[in-house]
């Protein structure tokens, strides 16, 4: 794949951040991702290059796409209204992968983004994005 740049998953003129990593709220424990509130149907873009390793419904996460990077890091894109990719697809930064929605356990339409190094426990997506020159 081409240059491994990172981009925002949602157009910055459309979203507002409504929950950050580590916050407590209506969810079961601390928040494990970064929530980009946007209207249902807003395009979601791949944050960076990778391979789609899952695109399916996952309970509280709703419609979830998982993109796995070369180093094993998983990026989870949750609560989508619809998918634009399938398992096995190679994607590049900025490529359309789905649409903002309200599937799963939500209080309104948004993209819940998680970053999971090695497919393990989540880390702060804000820090991961900033590490790659992207400011949410």
Q: DSSP letters of 47-75?
A: SSSEEEEEEEE-GGG-EEEEEE-TTS-EE
Record the pTM: 0.93
CA pair distance 121, 74, nearest whole angstrom = 10
Tokens representing 135 are 């400011």
> Strand order in 90-91's β-sheet?
16-19, 34-37, 110-116, 74-80, 63-68, 50-57, 90-91
Alpha carbon separation from 1 to 4, 48, 51, 107, 119 (Å, rounded): 8, 10, 10, 37, 21
Q: Summarize pLDDT for 83-129 with one digit per residue, the tens.
A: 999 999 999 999 999 999 999 999 899 999 999 999 999 999 999 99
Residues 13-46 pLDDT 10s? 999 988 777 676 665 577 789 999 999 999 999 9
Residue whose tokens read 């789905």: 98
Domains detected in the chain: 16-131 (2.70.70.10)
For 47-94, the pLDDT digits (tens) are 999 999 999 999 999 999 999 999 999 999 999 999 999 999 999 999
CA distances from 103 to 4, 5, 8, 79, 124 (A): 30, 29, 21, 5, 22
d(CA 128, CA 21): 11
For tokens 């709703």, name the residue: 62
108: tokens are 């309104």
Q: CA 47, CA 4: separation in Å to the nearest integer? A: 10
């Amino acid at each position: 794949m081409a240059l491994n740049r990172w981009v925002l998953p949602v157009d910055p003129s459309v979203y507002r951040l409504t929950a950050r990593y580590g916050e407590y709220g209506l969810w079961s424990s601390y928040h494990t991702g970064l929530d980009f509130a946007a209207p249902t149907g807003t395009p979601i873009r791949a944050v960076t290059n990778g391979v789609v390793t899952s695109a399916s419904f996952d309970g509280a996460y709703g419609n979830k796409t998982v993109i796995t990077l070369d180093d094993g890091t998983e990026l989870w894109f949750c609560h989508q209204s619809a998918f634009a990719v399938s398992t096995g697809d190679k994607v590049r930064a900025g490529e359309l992968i789905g649409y903002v929605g309200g599937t799963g356990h939500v209080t309104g339409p948004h993209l819940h983004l998680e970053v999971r190094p090695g497919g393990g426990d989540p880390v702060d997506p804000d820090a991961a994005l900033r590490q790659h020159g992207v400011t949410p």
